């Protein structure tokens, strides 16, 4: 690009604002706010779970239970202790990193959740990959063909992707790839110790089912953001300096369109981690979402408390990461206020 | 695409390798995952559906035809007064961890179930036992408080299996029994694997249970042959699809699940037998079975399984007769009756609820449907008896005795019925006991204690080459000891 003025020039960047002390303190404030959110959430979680009607011991003993057996099981589970004492035990346990033992399974909650997380986290990441890989290019394509056939066609496909529920996509994928073509398993998860490939193979269909609707969202957000920015003066200025439309898009419009896209991505990751339960059911995957539903049904309070806290933490951490990333991406956020 | 092709090839190669050797592994789908694996410490049927007869054995067992057969006890005799039962034990049996089995294990297991801090869900089965004696390692004498003819049957339950003192506390996560299969692996939420123990006389080398509850997923898993079968398939509406497919055998059998429109017998005006009879006559059982169960399921007129020899068909006592129902309500002076029906999550309950609501409306009873979660049902209906009507299946075999319990949620208190149950318990002669069971069924039908709907069907779907799967479910179990692949 030799003779053209370099937009990446240092003085040009400095004019937009470099890292200033204000940026650091903003970051610290965001982290403090995140920690406070977690603390408040922990109190709410315990209170909410303990006003939940239903007795875990009754669920375990069923319709033939006798009062003396129920009382014995409640003692064994520690449910006969007064609530403030149980709350204190739970809180001090959390502080020591002890999450307790599952009422239902009788194994350590930490182990139980860990075996589910190794399914759910890769699944969420893969789904996100599908969403990014399809959504952003589709959005860019639509934006560059704004109001033309390519744009309308892409947005029509995105609308369909948005309207069709993920579990239905899942069932169709199973019909085609598992029952029809027999390329991939219909569901289940063989475990990572069976090898990386079988593990990934088991996650492909669910990841596509989960990722497609998210890709549609992302395509629309990307398109809107780019179209808005391409209209702005600085893009026109860049074009007047002699940059082609594509160069202006890549160098100026895309970086400025990133904040809304990253914000949406953050929300999507949190959703994919916790909200995959329906797709987990369709593919009978042992993920976190199904564990949440199971532990609600069985009133497995130690597991439930741990899961809710974990998901809250994931949402808070992802939000924090997005905030901090935006601070880096968007100098205006550092300068204002 | 490349990855997919690679995967497809590797899967194909595995499939071909499998076909080359005679198959001795089986993968079964199961709707519910057990909470843990100790059948002596929980009511969940899913526990027995994995470990009964496979991992754990009792002194006696229930066979496919519902009869009581010897298992760890080879024979037994009862003293003339009916108070002392002597069991002769099988010799040379060991637990999976290598510890030996003898009479002290029996004494330990029974005393553990009876103990103050016992969490056995069927503690009532052991209640007649006064003492357990071990004259020698191969003999156990059980002394009773009162004659109990049903003792060998009681001891055949999953809740009465024999456990070892060395492993009892860890059976929840690592079950150690005397059965032909031993526990291998459990991935919570996904699968559980049992494998044949050395020297065991069973055809299968490995059994995998996969927990797939969603009906669409269960159908897909069978169609893709990811699982070889379901002992009890969760979606009756999918059965015609499997019946039409030569790869599968569809076997409809019976269970011990009496499905009831349970009535709170103490709540006004349901405490009036005429009102309860009116509810019975309002129900068109066949329409209900056709509508809610796709035609599978057998009508019942009292709380008893049609597959039991003592069964008496009493469905005519509460035959569908809306005219009579309206007359009975008028006689009782009940007009404009509004009731709620609490519905637990199983699909039989939710679907039956809608049809029964419509049938009750025809005789002028307005029923409001209240869907509840299982934990809520246990608290509101079962524990606090806060309900008018509810729909639930009582799946324990031969459980008519619950009507003799004072604190049971039906709120039915009939001293005559309680006396009759006590007589049945003390009767050792089977023919005589069956006559008394007939009287008990009559009594419940006459009192219209509950709306008796249908016996829950067992909807088996499995690979047509799989032999020895139980057609009926006289007890909730997946007995794999006789299952093999056809040559």
Q: Could you give the dihedral angle defined by the CA atoms of residues B390, B284, B399 and B69, in that order, rounded to the nearest 10 degrees?
A: -140
DSSP 8-state secondary structure symbol assigned to residue B90 = P
On average, the pLDDT of chain A sits at: 81
Residue B14 lies in a domain: no
Q: Is the pLDDT of residue B19 over 60?
A: no
Tens of pLDDT, residues B157-195: 999 999 999 999 899 889 999 999 999 999 888 899 999
CATH code of B88's domain: 3.90.76.10
User: Least CB-CB distance to A286: which of B188, B216, B373?
Assistant: B188
Task: Tell which of B170, B203, B234 closes a domain.
Answer: B170
Residue B217 lies in a domain: yes
Residue B28 lies in a domain: yes
Rounded to whole angstroms, how far apart are CA atoms A190 and A242?
Answer: 56
B450 and B463 both lie in a single domain: no
CATH code of B190's domain: 3.40.190.10
Q: What is the pLDDT of residue B58?
A: 96
The strand pair at B337-343 and B484-485 is best described as unpaired
User: Least CB-CB distance to B223: which of A63, A106, A179?
Assistant: A179
Tens of pLDDT, residues A55-99: 777 777 777 777 788 888 888 777 788 877 877 887 788 778 788
Residue B49 lies in a domain: no
A174 vs B224: CB contact, 8 Å cut-off?
A: yes
Residue B443 CB contacts under 8 Å (≥ 6 apart), including other chains: B414, B416, B417, B420
ipTM of the complex: 0.71
Tens of pLDDT, residues A11-50: 444 444 444 445 567 778 888 888 888 888 888 888 888 7
Instruction: For residue B55, give the nearest of B348, B477, B366 by alpha carbon.
Output: B477
Q: What is the pLDDT of residue A186?
A: 81
On average, the pLDDT of chain B sits at: 91
Residue B316 lies in a domain: yes
B100 and B226 both lie in a single domain: no
The strand pairing partners of B459, in sequence order, are: B252
* Backbone CA torsion sign across A254, A260, A261, A262: positive
Q: Is the pLDDT of residue A243 over 60?
A: yes
Nearest residue in B to A205, CA atom:
B4
Q: Length of chain B, please?
A: 487
Question: Are residues B454 and B174 in contact, defined by beta-carbon separation less than 8 angstroms?
Answer: no
A284 vs B120: CB contact, 8 Å cut-off?
A: no
Residue A168 sits at the chain B interface (C-beta within 8 Å): no
B77 and B119 both lie in a single domain: yes
Q: Write down the number of H helices and E strands in chain A.
A: 16, 0
CATH code of B433's domain: 3.10.105.10
The strand pair at B191-196 and B181-187 is best described as antiparallel
Q: What is the pLDDT of residue A8?
A: 44
Instruction: For residue A206, give the nearest of A183, A235, A174 by alpha carbon.
Output: A174
Confidence of residue A256 (pLDDT cuts 50, 70, 90): confident
Range of the domain at B414: 258-455
Confidence of residue B21 (pLDDT cuts 50, 70, 90): low
Bigger pLDDT: B3 vs A115:
A115
DSSP H/E element including A324: helix A301-329
Dihedrals phi, psi of B229, to nearest 5 degrees: 175, 170
Confidence of residue B304 (pLDDT cuts 50, 70, 90): very high
B236 and B134 both lie in a single domain: no
How many structural domains is chain B composed of? 3
Count CB-CB contacts under 10 A for residue B246. 7
Q: What is the pLDDT of residue A16?
A: 43
B64 and B197 both lie in a single domain: no
Token pair for residue A50?
């303990």
Rounded to whole angstroms, how far apart are CA atoms B292 and B450?
Answer: 19
DSSP H/E element including B26: strand B25-30
Chosen for mutation from A52, A59, A165 (greatest number of chain B CBs closer than 10 Å) is A59
B107 and B210 both lie in a single domain: no
B184 and B266 both lie in a single domain: no
Contacts of B7 in chain A (CB under 8 A): 183-184, 197, 201
Residue A2 sits at the chain B interface (C-beta within 8 Å): no
Q: What is the pLDDT of residue A226?
A: 87
Task: Tell which of B170, B188, B203 closes a domain.
Answer: B170
Residue B331 lies in a domain: yes
Q: Is the pLDDT of residue B142 over 90?
A: yes
Separation in Å, CA of A176 to nearest CA in chain B: 11
Question: Are residues B332 and B274 in contact, defined by beta-carbon separation less than 8 angstroms?
Answer: yes
B166 and B189 both lie in a single domain: no
Helices B273-282 + B322-331 axis angle, to 10: 160
Token pair for residue A278?
């329906």
Task: Tell which of B135, B152, B170 closes a domain.
Answer: B170
DSSP-derived 3-state class of residue B210: strand
Rounded to whole angstroms, how far apart are CA atoms B402 and B407?
Answer: 9
Q: How far apart are the first and last CA of chain A?
A: 38
DSSP 8-state secondary structure symbol assigned to residue B100 = B
Residue B377 lies in a domain: yes
A61 vs B172: CB contact, 8 Å cut-off?
A: no
Q: Is the pLDDT of residue B278 over 60?
A: yes
B315 and B426 both lie in a single domain: yes
A58 vs B383: CB contact, 8 Å cut-off?
A: yes
User: Least CB-CB distance to A63: which of B7, B33, B382?
Assistant: B382
Token pair for residue B404?
């003799």
Rounded to whole angstroms, how far apart are CA atoms B146 and A192?
Answer: 57
Least confident span in A5-19, B12-26, B291-305: A5-19
A281 vs B117: CB contact, 8 Å cut-off?
A: no
B27 and B70 both lie in a single domain: no
Rounded to whole angstroms, how far apart are CA atoms A275 and B423?
Answer: 56
Instruction: For residue B174, give the nearest of B60, B95, B231, B112 by alpha carbon.
Output: B95
The H-assigned helical ranges of A164-298 are: 166-173, 196-230, 233-240, 245-248, 254-274, 277-282, 288-297
User: Least CB-CB distance to B188: which of A59, A62, A115?
Assistant: A115
Residue B40 lies in a domain: no
How far is Cα of residue B184 from the mean position of the Cα atoms in its chain?
25
B279 and B398 both lie in a single domain: yes
B145 and B209 both lie in a single domain: no
């Amino acid at each position: 690009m030799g003779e053209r003025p370099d937009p990446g020039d240092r003085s040009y960047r400095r004019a937009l604002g470099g890292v200033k002390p204000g940026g650091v303190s903003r970051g610290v404030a965001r982290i403090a706010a995140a920690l406070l959110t977690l603390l408040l959430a922990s109190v709410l979680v315990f209170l909410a779970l303990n006003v939940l009607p239903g007795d875990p011991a009754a669920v375990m003993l069923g319709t033939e239970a006798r009062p003396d057996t129920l009382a014995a099981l409640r003692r064994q589970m520690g449910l006969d202790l007064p609530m403030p004492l149980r709350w204190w035990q739970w809180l001090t346990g959390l502080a020591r990193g002890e999450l307790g033992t599952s009422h239902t399974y009788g194994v350590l909650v930490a182990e139980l959740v860990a075996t589910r997380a190794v399914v759910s986290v890769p699944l969420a990441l893969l789904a996100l990959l599908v969403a990014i890989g399809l959504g952003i290019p589709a959005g860019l394509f639509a934006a560059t063909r704004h109001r033309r056939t390519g744009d309308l066609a892409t947005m029509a496909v995105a609308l369909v992707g948005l309207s069709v529920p993920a579990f239905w996509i899942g069932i169709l994928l199973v019909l085609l790839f598992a029952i029809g073509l027999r390329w991939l398993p219909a569901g289940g998860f063989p475990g990572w110790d069976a090898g990386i490939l079988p593990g990934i193979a088991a996650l492909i269909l669910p990841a596509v089912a989960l990722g497609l609707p998210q890709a549609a969202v992302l395509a629309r957000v990307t398109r809107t953001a780019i179209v808005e920015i391409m209209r702005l003066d600085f893009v026109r200025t860049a074009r007047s300096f002699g940059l082609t439309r594509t160069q202006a898009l890549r160098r100026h419009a895309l970086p400025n369109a990133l904040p809304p896209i990253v914000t949406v991505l953050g929300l999507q990751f949190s959703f994919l981690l916790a909200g995959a339960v329906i797709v987990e059911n369709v593919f009978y995957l042992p993920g976190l979402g199904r564990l949440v539903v199971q532990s609600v049904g069985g009133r497995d309070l130690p597991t439930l408390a741990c899961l809710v806290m974990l998901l809250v933490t994931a949402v808070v951490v992802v939000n924090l990461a997005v905030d901090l990333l935006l601070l880096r991406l968007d100098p205006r956020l550092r300068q204002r206020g | 695409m490349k990855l997919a092709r690679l995967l497809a090839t590797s899967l194909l190669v595995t499939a071909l390798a499998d076909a080359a050797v005679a198959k001795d592994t089986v993968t079964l789908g199961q709707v519910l995952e057990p909470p843990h694996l100790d059948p002596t410490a929980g009511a969940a049927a899913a526990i027995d559906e994995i470990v009964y007869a496979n991992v754990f054995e009792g002194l006696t067992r229930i066979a496919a035809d519902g009869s009581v057969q010897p298992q760890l006890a080879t024979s037994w005799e009862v003293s003339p007064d009916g108070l002392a039962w002597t069991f002769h034990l099988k010799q040379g049996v060991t637990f999976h961890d290598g510890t030996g089995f003898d009479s002290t294990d029996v004494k330990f297991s029974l005393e553990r179930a009876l103990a103050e801090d016992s969490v056995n869900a069927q503690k009532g089965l052991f209640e007649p036992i006064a003492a357990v004696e071990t004259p020698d390692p191969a003999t156990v004498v059980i002394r009773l408080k009162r004659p109990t003819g049903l003792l060998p049957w009681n001891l055949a339950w999953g809740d009465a299996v024999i456990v070892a003192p060395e492993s009892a506390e860890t059976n929840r996560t690592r079950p150690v029994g005397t059965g032909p299969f031993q526990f291998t692996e459990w991935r919570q939420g996904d699968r559980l694997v049992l494998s044949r123990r050395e020297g065991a006389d069973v055809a299968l080398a490995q059994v995998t249970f996969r927990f797939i509850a969603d009906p669409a997923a269960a159908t897909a898993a069978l169609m893709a042959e990811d699982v070889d079968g379901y002992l009890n398939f969760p979606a009756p509406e999918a059965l015609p699809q499997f019946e039409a497919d030569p790869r599968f055998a569809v076997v409809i059998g019976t269970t011990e699940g009496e499905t009831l429109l349970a009535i709170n017998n103490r709540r006004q005006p349901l405490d009036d037998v005429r009102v309860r009879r009116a509810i019975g006559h309002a129900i068109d059982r066949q329409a209900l079975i056709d509508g809610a169960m796709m035609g599978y399921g057998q009508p019942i007129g009292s709380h008893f399984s049609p597959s039991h020899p003592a069964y008496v068909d009493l469905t005519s006592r509460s035959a569908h007769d809306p005219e009579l129902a309206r007359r009975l309500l008028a006689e009782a002076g009940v007009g404009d009756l509004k009731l709620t029906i609490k519905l637990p999550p199983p699909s039989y309950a939710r679907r039956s609820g809608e049809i029964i609501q419509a049938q009750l409306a025809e005789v002028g009873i307005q029923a409001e449907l209240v869907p509840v979660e299982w934990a809520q049902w246990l608290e509101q209906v079962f524990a606090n008896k806060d309900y008018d009507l509810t729909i639930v299946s009582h799946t324990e075999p031969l459980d008519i005795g619950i009507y003799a319990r004072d604190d049971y949620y039906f709120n039915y208190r009939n001293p005559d019925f309680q006396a009759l149950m006590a007589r049945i318990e003390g009767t050792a002669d089977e023919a005589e006991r069956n006559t008394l069971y007939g009287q008990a069924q009559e009594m419940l039908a006459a009192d219209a204690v509950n709306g008796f709907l249908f016996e829950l069907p067992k909807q088996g779907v499995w690979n047509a080459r799989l032999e020895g799967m139980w057609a009926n479910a006289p007890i909730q179990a997946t007995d794999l000891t006789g299952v093999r692949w056809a040559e």
